[in-house]
Structure 1
Amino acid sequence: MAVKPDADVSTRDNILRLIIERGPITSAELASMLFLTSAAVRRHLTQLETDGQIAEYTGAASRPARRGRPSRRYVATSLGQATFGDSYADVANQVLSFLKDSLGDEGVNAFASQRIDELEARYTGIVDEAGPDPEARAAALANALTRDGYAASVRRGPGDMTLQLCQGHCPIHDVASSFPVMCEAETQAFHRLLNVHVQRLATLAGGEHVCTLTIPLVSRIREAEVRKETHDTNPA
């Protein structure tokens, strides 16, 4: 039986959303998440690539590759990101441009601070309910961000010493491209919410395929340091 066009589009939208949220991602991973055949996923990927909404990722892999021909991994393009855009960005751009012309950088900084204070106030209770565990707090923050349209997820960093908070979509990335203070204010808010020093590695506003924030797992780092000190003091 032929697939209905509207169902086809809905499936393609789901694939694009997953690429935005989880990319770089392979067709096999998408098929597993959506309970589809690999052939069906590849058909949608071909169409999305033809439409200019996704592209093959050419950066370094986050984990060692298996033997054999490497699988193609996909990320969303700026056109794909815009599919799930937010009209707020247009308004915010106009407001910030007006504030900069009228009040200079102080006006822009005040706007960014007010916006991020509201976000932090909404998220504080949600993150605190997760308890003291850093992974649980990061997951709670990611869930809250996703509900606000940021397509966020948490991944383990290299060596399991860090977490990576990834935001596959940003409703204001066009604004942040012109006014980087928006990203800076957000990073400081995440530092306060997670109660640990965090570092921004990449941003959509800066042209990357995802916003990436590194969160150190302090207890794991300390354990590794203790093991190293013990080994150095008492070598085998």
Structure 2
Amino acid sequence: MEKYLSLNNYPLNQAQRQILIYLKLNGAQPSTVMAKHLKITNEGTRLHLVKLIEQGLVKSEQPTKGVGRPTSIYDITAQGSALFPDTHADLTTQLLQTIKEELGDEALKKLIAAREKDFSAKYNNAIKENDSLENKLEALVNMRTEEGYMATWDKEDDEYILAENHCPICSAAKECQGFCSAELNNFKKVFGSDVEVERSEHIVKGDRRCAYKIKSKHKVKTD
């Protein structure tokens, strides 16, 4: 919980905060799954969800699949997502617009390149070049989570999925997608030329999260 302290500014109890974080990390879920995660009763979970729905932070849907009574699925709303930090959103967007208008596109490109260089140095200092792919992935996920991206990773068959369930610079990224390109470049540098890194989901394009498919061009070195 300590990584998402911005939620403490909103009148929610601990279970309600955990529900929002869980939905942010995992997408739409039935109440039974969340009850198991929270280790409380289904009825207790539904009561928390009702409160969150009343506040406009969660929405409920009933997919029409198969026969029988439909199961309600709950998801975080745009208002709920707004409780997670977008770093100085208004100031950042205004600053980018000013740079572009007053100094031109080249100045904006230099700003993005400088940011890319700074983060590249940060990651390279913390992640060893000869580490296994999984060790690099774990280290990067930890660093990105500390930066506010709510990052996770998983393995699917012969490739890895790096997921970022929140974007703390979303306003800046929407204003200038050069930031997104720079981040992808940095990920490629972290994993090296023997690893393919491809963005498969993109928040800016309307997806729930940003996700990257990561696959070794050779046999993966695991621990």
Q: TM-score, normalised by structure 1?
A: 0.74
SS for the counterpart of 1:128 is coil
Structure 1: give runs of 5+ residues left out of the alignment.
1-5, 60-67, 222-236
Out of 5, 24, 36, which is 1:20 matched to? 24
Q: Read off the aligned partner of 1:83 and give its amino acid letter.
A: L
Deviation (angstroms), 1:8? 5.7
* Equivalent residue number for residue 190 of structure 2: 193
Q: Which secondary structure state, in structure 2, belongs to the residue aligned with residue 205 of structure 1?
A: helix
Residue 196 of structure 2 contacts residue 217 of structure 2 at CA under 8 Å; is this kept in 1? no
Return the structure number with greater helix share: 1
Report the secondary structure of 1:166's partner residue.
strand
Question: Which amino acid in 2 is paired with 1:14?
Answer: Q
Q: Give matches, 1:122-201, under 5 Å.
A: 122-128=122-128, 131-132=131-132, 134-157=133-156, 160-195=157-192, 196-201=195-200
Which residue does the alignment assign to 2:48? 44
Find the partner of 2:37 among 33, 37, 49.
33
Residues 214, 54 of structure 1: CA spacing in aligned structure 2 closer, same or farther, 3 A cutoff?
farther
Question: Is contact 1:174–1:205 with CA below 8 Å preserved after alignment?
Answer: no
Contact 1:89 1:172 in 2 (8 A): yes
| Deviation at residue 7 of structure 1 after TM alignment | 9.4
- The 1:202–1:77 alpha-carbon spacing in structure 2 relative to 1, beyond 3 Å, is farther
- Per-residue CA deviations over 1:150-209 (Å, capped at 9, x if unaligned) read 11111233xx12211111111111221121111111111111112222111222222221
- Any idea what SS the aligned residue of 2:172 has? helix
The whole-number CA distance in structure 2 between the counterparts of 1:56 and 1:130 is: 47
Amino acid of the residue matched to residue 136 of structure 1?
A: N
Structure 1's 163 and 108: CA in aligned 2 closer, same or farther, altered over 3 A?
same
Contact 1:75 1:209 survives alignment (8 Å): no
Do the aligned partners of residues 70 and 191 (structure 1) sit closer, same or farther apart at CA in structure 2, a change above 3 Å counting?
farther
Distance change (3 Å), C-alpha of 1:102 and 1:202: same
Q: How many residues align?
A: 207
Indicate the SS of the match to 1:154. strand
Percent identity of equivalent pairs: 29
- Per-residue deviation, 1:25: 4.0
